Amino acid sequence: MTNFDFMGKAKFFGFVSALLFAGSIFSMVVIGLRPGIDFTGGIQLTLLYPSGTPLSTQAVRGYVAQVLGAQAASSPYYVQNITAERDVPGVGRQPLPGVVVTVRTDDKTLAENLRKALLFPAADSGLPTPLEHSLTEIGGQVSREIVNRAWQAVLVALAAMLIYIAVRFRLRYGVAAVLALIHDVVLTLGVFSVFRLEINLPVIAALLMVVGYSINDTIVVFDRIRENLRLSKKASLWEVINRSINQTLTRTLNTSSTTLLPIVVLLVVAGIALREFTVAMACGVIFGTYSSIFIASPILYGWARVAERLRAR
């Protein structure tokens, strides 16, 4: 068992967390988040080209802007490179270069024109003819419903966890745990805002998984704190929290590292297809481990100190 003074460093890490939290809020307000078409509505066109085809994302982006014309300003779009393996007749399984073109628009005529233009590019465009393609469309009404359901899922999860911990432990434990969860989610969204990563349905699923992972880690620490409070009634709460964190530290680090390993492998192997999902998972594991030690426990201690002062008065 380690003997690190975690509570002695609580003010320092609390200040760091406050800066990161404020920076994340500032980034989301100023820079904003980048919602996917799951939340905005629009079209997503995936194009795969013959193996070995030189493909310039800049050329595709310029051609899309040319096709959209005056509507480019009112229909934000972006282009991403991808690579997909396909069985090519007479050759076998080959990696094919491709692009994903996403346009936020409800104009079906515009979507069809763009699809035709990219499937049969003009001779002066410099773009090759794709081997295969797929088109995904999401309407505005569907996207609004998805946004509402996503927020409802996150809020219901937080409320359910607050109630469970308040019943299983005490209200102060539940509030400390939920505040730590909010810290984790906001910092994760801050990373997405700064690096302009897309918020889509897999990311919402990852955030809910992060909430579950973080609360599990926090409950382990809280359960040890409650147990040590019963066994060491003469020890101060400061000492009990420190001892409890040190006792669970090995378990916490082992769990976090073994969880991160497959996430990193998935990020490397899956590439851009699951990039946002794996980044959200990795951020959640890191921030969740950090908050269970340096956020939730100090909040619990601060609540107890304030309650003691109020009772003394």
Give me the chain's average pLDDT, please. 83
Q: What is the pLDDT of residue 88?
A: 67
Q: What is the pLDDT of residue 30?
A: 94
| CATH number for the domain running over 42-138 | 3.30.70.120
**Three-class DSSP labels, 262-299:** HHHHHHHHHHHHHHHHHHHHHHHHHHHHHHHHHCHHHH
What is the mean pLDDT of the segment spanning 260-281? 83
Reported as a single tens digit per residue, the pLDDT across 10-32 is 889 999 999 999 999 999 999 98
Q: How confident is the model at residue 157 (pLDDT cuts 50, 70, 90)?
A: confident
Are the CB atoms for 293 and 252 separated by under 8 Å?
yes
Q: What is the pLDDT of residue 174?
A: 84
Distance CA 267, CA 155 (A): 28
Q: What is the pLDDT of residue 203?
A: 87
DSSP 124: G
Q: What is the pLDDT of residue 77?
A: 80
Distance CA 312, CA 55 (A): 72
Q: How confident is the model at residue 245 (pLDDT cuts 50, 70, 90)?
A: very high
Distance CA 40, CA 37 (A): 5
Choose between 298 and 115: higher pLDDT.
Answer: 298
Q: Is 54 left (phi over 0), alpha (psi -120 to 50) or beta?
A: beta
Q: What is the pLDDT of residue 161?
A: 77
Residue with tokens 């769990």: 255
| 110-130 residues labelled b (16+ CB within 10 A) or e (exposed) | bbeebbebbeebeeeeebeeb
Distance CA 25, CA 188 (A): 11
Q: How confident is the model at residue 115 (pLDDT cuts 50, 70, 90)?
A: confident
Q: What is the pLDDT of residue 196?
A: 86
pTM of the predicted structure, to 2 decimals: 0.78
Looking at the chain, the whole-number percentage of residues with pLDDT higher than 70 is 93
Query: Is residue 140 scored above 70 in pLDDT?
Result: no
What is the mean pLDDT of the segment spanning 247-255? 89
Query: Is residue 271 scored above 70 in pLDDT?
Result: no
Domain ranges of the chain: 7-36+142-312, 42-138
Distance CA 119, CA 130 (A): 6
Distance CA 174, CA 159 (A): 10
Query: What DSSP string runs through 75-89?
Result: S-EEEEEEEEEEEET
Distance CA 221, CA 249 (A): 9
Which residues, other chains included, contact 260 with Cβ-Cβ below 8 Å and sequence gap of 6+? 282, 285, 286
* Fold of the domain built from segment(s) 7-36+142-312: Multidrug efflux transporter AcrB transmembrane fold (1.20.1640)
Are the CB atoms for 186 and 164 separated by under 8 Å?
no
Q: What is the pLDDT of residue 272?
A: 66
What is the mean pLDDT of the segment spanning 126-141? 77
Q: What is the pLDDT of residue 66?
A: 84
Highest-pLDDT range among 4-13, 46-55, 131-140, 201-210: 4-13
Query: Between the CA of residue 230 and those of 61, 84, 225, what are the distances in Å?
Result: 64, 58, 9
What is the mean pLDDT of the segment spanning 170-198? 89
Stretch (H or E) spanning 47: strand 42-48
Choose between 22 and 134: higher pLDDT.
Answer: 22
